[in-house]
Amino acid sequence: MAEHSLGPNGGFVYCMDYLEKNIDWLEGKLKPLIEDHYLLFDFPGQVELFFLHSNARSVINKLIKKLNLRLTAVHLIDAHLCCDPGKYVSALLLSLSTMLHLELPHINVLSKIDLIENYGNLGIMSSIV
């Protein structure tokens, strides 16, 4: 990032562009691992990077085809968003958008559920948590 004077978002876009152009290199690095390992690709929480740029989806699709991978998207949703109905619906819509954009099987996971009581009374939302 420093070499190209990029911030975190620009660094991510640059990285995805680089991987897309050098997919054969990435394939070579991953191929020896796929027999005995699970692969985890962790993407940052700035989902606008996935919607404004197609390079991450392109890299995923190329890896699926070239390595015959079976991938699943896991969308982590901060549990505190369940404390407010509006935020909860917003998180679900974001998750649905991600599901449609990536075109992968999808699992939603509430993260930090152990901290949910720190946000006070859940009221009507307690039935979903």
Are 46 and 9 in contact, with CB atoms under 8 Å apart?
A: yes
- Residue 81: burial class (beta carbons within 10 Å; 0-12, 13-18, 19+): buried
pLDDT in the model for residue 100:
87
Q: Structural domain boundaries of the chain? A: 1-71, 72-129
The per-residue pLDDT for 22 is 95
CA–CA gap between residue 13 and residue 55 (Å, rounded) = 8
What are the start-end ranges of the H helices in 31-84? 48-52, 55-67
Residue 75 is predicted with a pLDDT of 87
Query: Cα torsion at 102, 93, 12, 41 (round to 10°)?
Result: -50
| Rounded Cα gap, residues 115 and 68, in angstroms | 39
What per-residue confidence (pLDDT) applies to 127? 58
Q: Is residue 39 a contact partner of residue 26, using CB atoms and an 8 Å limit?
A: no
Q: What is the pLDDT of residue 121?
A: 63
pLDDT in tens, the chain (129 residues): 788 788 887 888 888 899 999 999 999 999 998 887 888 887 767 776 767 778 888 998 999 999 988 888 888 888 888 777 888 899 889 889 888 888 889 998 888 877 777 766 665 555 555
